[in-house]
Amino acid sequence: MKRIFFLVIVLFALTSCEWIETVIKGDSSSKIAGTTDIPINTVGTTFSSSVVLNGVYFNSNSSVTITKIEDGVDNIHVVSNIPSSIAAQVPAKYKDSSGKLVYDLKVKMTDKGILDYQNMDHEPFVLVKYDAKVGDKYTLEKSNGTTITREVVRKSTDDDYYWGGMLIKTIDVEQDSRIPGVEKIEYFTNHKFGLVGIRVYMEDGTTSQIGVSPSTY
């Protein structure tokens, strides 16, 4: 249970650098089309979150803000509470002097999709393409020869995902896991609002979910 708490908090930052090592460069899994001139890409845009652990709400009291944009890539600064019961398990490099989780990540968002750069080499890896079809896959090759795969498992045609007090359409992307205790990770995305949710499926059958809402879109 303690591992799940830490996992949920860090997954708010999409993923941890230690979990992904090396990406395939120059293929369709590292590029997206479209313009970055969209409302969400604004310095000062904040993201609110809701964290539910196996059906129980956790108050992360997080602060997530786009602090800088370089060549269309958003630099996002994350500060979040860490449950006291697992504070000692969180590496010091991810904590500030008050014991909060502090994390910086880079994401590229266009009107055609999302890339994240959360890997050791800081290379782009497709999270979603909004024109995707069910069955489309994005692959990430690790230096040890194994591959992490993201697959589009669902693309809704009706407004059926509850988010921000309304129902929206989503493209759901499933990622296999190399994290001990984690069966898979599912990302919920929307062409206008970007990443709207992350769900973590544990091997013990429990799930944790983060809802994400941008202040500007």
Domain at 56, CATH number:
2.40.360
Whole-number average pLDDT of the chain? 84
Q: Which structural domain, as residue segments, surrounds residue 98?
A: 2-212
Give pLDDT, residue 6: 52
H or E stretch covering 3: helix 2-11
Q: Given the structure tokens 């498992």, which residue do they identify?
A: 153
Give pLDDT, residue 128: 97
Indicate left, alpha or beta for 183 from its phi (over 0: left) and psi (-120 to 50: alpha): alpha
Tell me whether residue 87 is in a domain: yes
Contact between 215 and 46 (Cβ < 8 Å): yes
pTM to 2 decimal places: 0.86
For range 165-173, the mean pLDDT: 97
Tell me whether residue 132 is in a domain: yes
d(CA 123, CA 17): 11
In the chain, how many domains are there? 1
Tell me whether residue 217 is in a domain: no
Residue length, the chain?
A: 217
**pLDDT tens, residue by residue, 8-61:** 555 544 344 433 333 334 457 889 999 999 999 999 999 998 888 778 888 888
